[in-house]
């Protein structure tokens, strides 16, 4: 497999291929020859600078092969094609040339025999256009990779917070367990010892619950599947139980089994972000609402998940920045990635996100996520928001 960027020349009749290749090589452009356009497919896209064809390459299945090749190009690619044609002297060939020009976006037509200078100028334009495309592709790739890094950073931050929560949660029953073991040791009757050991078993069960919930969080499947959103959300809430108790926050949960087609791992991450934000907004206590129920949106059956708090509310002036990367009002305690990632997750799961907030008493914020109950392919469109031409996130009045 060649590793340099090169043009492919398909000129099956006569010495054209050889002449063109020699001209290109002597001007510093690498090129390879191919017998037919169909053979180009195997040659790999990213190294392909462009195609140089003669009319004969388009006869028989050539035009169809060219269409296939162009259709199979990745999104960033606009493959330059230079077609050498015999022009009006041969009407049949002229029709093919105009067909090619109308059907494909980046075609240069050159009369045969082509003057060297004309051919080289077309090659030069094709070369520069292709390099630009490759640059754009690389920039898009870097952007994607840096976003991927941010996603992972926020996942790790969540994992870190959960581990801290787990350690804290485990600590209380562990202390109780130590005390109970001491009491068992000191017991004078077998009945006393039994009753203490019964209590110890309960504490042990609490620890095992906490550990299981945390593990379940990390093991949640990443692949989309039919998922009970209520089960997922309530189990995510369990992870915060200690903090809720400590802050004297009252939980109001109403969640009946409701199914959506989504990635459980991703949605759980979104739910943890939203619950975390709700808790942060209620340093002095309040109420945390978790509601899951079935709903329809744009005629599609959905699972609707709401996480609401009676916290400070979101000031109007910061709302335009809410979903931006790194936007946080929490200083070094915040990453500013939670809502950005939550929106990303909702979009990736073909859902829709809406929020409401008030800073005047009674203040509070409610985030609602809609997730379609059926796979996107069955939905016949890519997300819930698009049919009405709306963005995937929206602030409700």
Binding site for ligand ADP (CB under 6 A): 273, 277-278, 281, 309, 311-312, 314, 322, 327-330, 334-340, 365
Out of Mg ion, ligand ADP, none, which partner does residue 306 contact, by CB within 5 to 8 A per kind?
none
Scanning 54-62, 67-75, 251-259, 273-281 for contacts with Mg ion by CB under 5 A, the matching segment is 273-281
- C-beta of 276: minimal distance to Mg ion in Å? 5
- C-beta of 274: minimal distance to Mg ion in Å? 8
- C-beta of 229: minimal distance to ligand ADP in Å? 19
Distance CA 235, CA 229 (A): 10
What are the tokens at 166?
């787990």
Are residues 297 and 365 in contact, defined by beta-carbon separation less than 8 angstroms?
no
Q: Which is nearer to ligand ADP, 54 or 273 (CB)?
A: 273
Q: Which is nearer to ligand ADP, 109 or 159 (CB)?
A: 159
Environment class of 47 (CB within 10 Å of its CB; exposed 0-12, middle 13-18, buried 19+):
middle
Q: Contact between 235 and Mg ion (CB under 5 A)?
A: no
Distance CA 89, CA 86 (A): 7
First to last CA, the chain: 59
Q: Which is nearer to ligand ADP, 255 or 314 (CB)?
A: 314
Out of Mg ion, ligand ADP, none, which partner does residue 368 contact, by CB within 5 to 8 A per kind?
none
**Most distant CA pair in the chain: distance in Å?**
115
Out of Mg ion, ligand ADP, none, which partner does residue 158 contact, by CB within 5 to 8 A per kind?
none
- C-beta of 234: minimal distance to ligand ADP in Å? 19
Window 82-111: residues binding Mg ion (CB under 5 A): none
Q: Which of 41, 114, 46 is nearest to 74 (CA)?
A: 46
Three-class HEC string of 244-289:
HHHCCEEEEEEECCCEEEEEHHHHHHHHHHHHHHHHHCCCCCEEEE
Q: CA geometry: angle at 188 spanning 185 and 191, to 5°? A: 95
Out of Mg ion, ligand ADP, none, which partner does residue 328 contact, by CB within 5 to 8 A per kind?
ligand ADP
Are residues 338 and 279 in contact, defined by beta-carbon separation less than 8 angstroms?
no
Distance CA 9, CA 22 (A): 11
- C-beta of 346: minimal distance to ligand ADP in Å? 13
Q: Which is nearer to ligand ADP, 260 or 339 (CB)?
A: 339
The count of residues interacting with Mg ion (CB under 5 A) is 2
Are residues 79 and 73 in contact, defined by beta-carbon separation less than 8 angstroms?
yes
- C-beta of 230: minimal distance to ligand ADP in Å? 21
- C-beta of 347: minimal distance to ligand ADP in Å? 15
Window 335-394: residues binding Mg ion (CB under 5 A): 338
Out of ligand ADP, Mg ion, none, which partner does residue 312 contact, by CB within 5 to 8 A per kind?
ligand ADP
User: How far from 282 is each of 275, 312, 364, 366, CA to CA, in Å?
Assistant: 11, 7, 9, 13
Scanning 212-220, 251-259, 332-340, 345-353 for contacts with Mg ion by CB under 5 A, the matching segment is 332-340
Distance CA 272, CA 279 (A): 10
Q: Is the Cα torsion angle 284, 285, 287, 288 positive or negative in sign?
A: positive
Q: Which is nearer to ligand ADP, 54 or 342 (CB)?
A: 342
Q: Contact between 277 and Mg ion (CB under 5 A)?
A: yes
The radius of gyration of the chain from alpha carbons, rounded to an integer in Å, stands at 32
What are the tokens at 17?
């291929």
Are residues 260 and 302 in contact, defined by beta-carbon separation less than 8 angstroms?
yes
Q: Which is nearer to Mg ion, 29 or 323 (CB)?
A: 323
Distance CA 117, CA 126 (A): 14
User: Which residue's C-beta sits nearest to Mg ion?
Assistant: 338
Out of ligand ADP, Mg ion, none, which partner does residue 16 contact, by CB within 5 to 8 A per kind?
none
- C-beta of 182: minimal distance to ligand ADP in Å? 42
Q: Contact between 312 and Mg ion (CB under 5 A)?
A: no
């Amino acid at each position: 497999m060649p590793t340099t960027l090169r043009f492919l020349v398909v000129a099956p009749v006569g010495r054209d291929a050889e002449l063109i290749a020699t001209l290109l090589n002597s001007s510093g452009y690498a090129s390879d020859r191919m017998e037919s356009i169909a053979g180009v497919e195997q040659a790999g896209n990213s190294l392909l600078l462009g195609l140089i064809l003669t009319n004969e390459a388009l006869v028989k299945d050539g035009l169809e092969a060219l269409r296939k090749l162009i259709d199979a190009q990745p999104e960033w690619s606009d493959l330059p094609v230079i077609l050498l044609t015999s022009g009006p002297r041969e009407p049949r060939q002229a029709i093919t040339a105009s067909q090619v020009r109308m059907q494909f976006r980046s075609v240069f037509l050159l009369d045969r025999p082509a003057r060297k200078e004309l051919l080289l100028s077309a090659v030069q334009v094709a070369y520069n256009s292709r390099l630009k495309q490759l640059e754009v592709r690389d920039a898009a790739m870097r952007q994607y990779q840096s976003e991927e890094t941010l996603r992972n950073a926020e996942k790790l931050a969540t994992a870190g917070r959960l581990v801290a929560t787990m350690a804290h949660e485990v600590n209380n029953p562990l202390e109780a367990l130590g005390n109970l073991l001491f009491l068992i040791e000191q017991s004078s009757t077998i009945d006393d010892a039994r009753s203490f050991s019964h209590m110890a078993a309960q504490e042990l069960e609490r620890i095992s619950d906490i550990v299981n919930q945390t593990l379940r969080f990390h093991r949640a499947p990443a692949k989309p599947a039919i998922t009970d959103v209520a089960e997922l959300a309530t189990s995510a809430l369990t992870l915060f139980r200690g903090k809720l108790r400590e802050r004297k926050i009252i939980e109001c949960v109403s969640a009946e089994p409701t199914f959506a087609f989504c990635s459980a791992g991703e949605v759980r991450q979104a739910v943890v972000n939203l619950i975390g934000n709700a808790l942060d907004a209620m340093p002095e206590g309040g109420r945390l609402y978790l509601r899951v129920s079935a709903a329809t949106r744009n005629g599609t059956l959905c699972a609707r998940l709401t996480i609401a708090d009676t916290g400070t509310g979101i000031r109007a002036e910061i709302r335009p920045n809410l979903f931006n990367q790194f936007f946080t009002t929490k200083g070094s305690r915040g990453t500013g990635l939670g809502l950005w990632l939550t929106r990303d997750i909702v979009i990736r799961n073909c859902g829709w996100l809406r929020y409401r907030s008030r800073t005047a008493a009674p203040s509070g914020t409610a985030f609602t996520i809609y997730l379609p109950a059926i796979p996107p392919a069955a939905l016949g469109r890519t997300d819930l928001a698009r049919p009405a031409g709306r963005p995937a996130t929206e602030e409700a009045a």
